[in-house]
Amino acid sequence: MLGIFRKTSPSARWPIAASSADQLEGLLHEHDHLLPLPKEPAALANILEVSIVDYLLTRLDATEGAEHTRGTERGYPDLEISGPAFGGSYHAVDVKVARRGDTNKSKTQSRITLYTGNTYFKWPDLHWPGTMRTFNDYRSHLDIIIIYTLDSDSKARVQDMEIIVQQPWKIASKQRSSTTREYLGAVESIAALRDGRGEFSTPAEFYRFWRAYPFKISAQVQKQLARLVQKQQQEIEQLRGQTAQLPLED
Ligand SMILES: [Ca+2]
């Protein structure tokens, strides 16, 4: 992604003829058809995330026996995959974008957020809004992390992109990624992210630590939780009723 296409430009010349992507880029530049991508980290990250999920969806479409669903904007995960190609179970794939530090290039500028800690992650057997199924319904969780250096002078903004694929628990830290939101943070060292050297030695240790973490539970989350627990109880009672009606075998 090199910029945003600007349809009308004072220096437009038509037709444009190009025999390669580089040549087309040059011509679009020359005739002022490219506007820069946003510099603001969250906006830039969103554009990158969406385009990476788009790319994965195209590849999954071309894979026999692969099924996929794109997640909601603010939910978890960004993408779930399933189908015979993946053993029939559901797998969660989340895309994260992080900028290299301005002063220290060996770290991310801020901690990557792995999960929201006070909802689907804390109560993994309830089906939270914004998620496609319960956290525990996923056979595996995978993060695709895009690390980049911000280049304010270029229209693409992104330089030296590195892609890291890791399981979230392997790159987890014991720090939150935000002082105001209930987020679990990753380690900051890019080498540690690359090598999967987080602060936990087993998934069990990671889940124990973060599920016991005293995250704030807002009134809204509490209300939602009560509703989900009630719904689960109703389902259990319904199942009990069905079992009671089953004919007894002798
Ligand atoms: Ca994401």
pLDDT band at 250 (very low <50, low <70, confident <90, very high): low
Residue 76 alpha carbon to ligand 1 centre in Å: 8
The answer to whether 139 and 88 are in contact (CB under 8 A) is no
Residue 190 alpha carbon to ligand 1 centre in Å: 18
Tell me what the pLDDT averaged over the chain comes to.
94
Q: Where are the domains of the chain?
A: 1-35, 37-222
pLDDT tens per residue across span 83-118: 999 999 999 999 999 999 999 999 999 999 999 999
Residue 96 alpha carbon to ligand 1 centre in Å: 5
Residue 115 alpha carbon to ligand 1 centre in Å: 9
Residue 246's SS3 state is coil
The answer to whether 81 and 89 are in contact (CB under 8 A) is no
pLDDT tens per residue across span 28-76: 999 999 999 999 989 999 999 999 999 999 999 999 999 999 999 889 9
Checking if the pLDDT of 246 tops 90, the result is: no
> What is the second-level CATH architecture of the domain 37-222?
3-Layer(aba) Sandwich (3.40)
Q: How far apart are CA 197 and CA 173, in angstroms?
A: 9
Residue 50 alpha carbon to ligand 1 centre in Å: 9
Residue 240 alpha carbon to ligand 1 centre in Å: 39
Q: What is the pTM of this model?
A: 0.90
The answer to whether 34 and 5 are in contact (CB under 8 A) is yes
10 Å Cβ neighbour count for 183? 20
The answer to whether 34 and 7 are in contact (CB under 8 A) is no
Residue 136 alpha carbon to ligand 1 centre in Å: 19
Q: Which residue stretches of the chain are H helix?
A: 21-30, 41-61, 190-195, 203-211, 219-245
Q: How far apart are CA 47 and CA 45, in angstroms?
A: 5
CB-side exposure of 88: number of CA atoms within 13 Å? 0
Torsion-angle region of 65 (φ positive above 0: left; ψ -120 to 50: alpha; else: beta) = left
Residue 236 alpha carbon to ligand 1 centre in Å: 33
Residue 75 alpha carbon to ligand 1 centre in Å: 8
Q: How far apart are CA 165 and CA 191, in angstroms?
A: 13
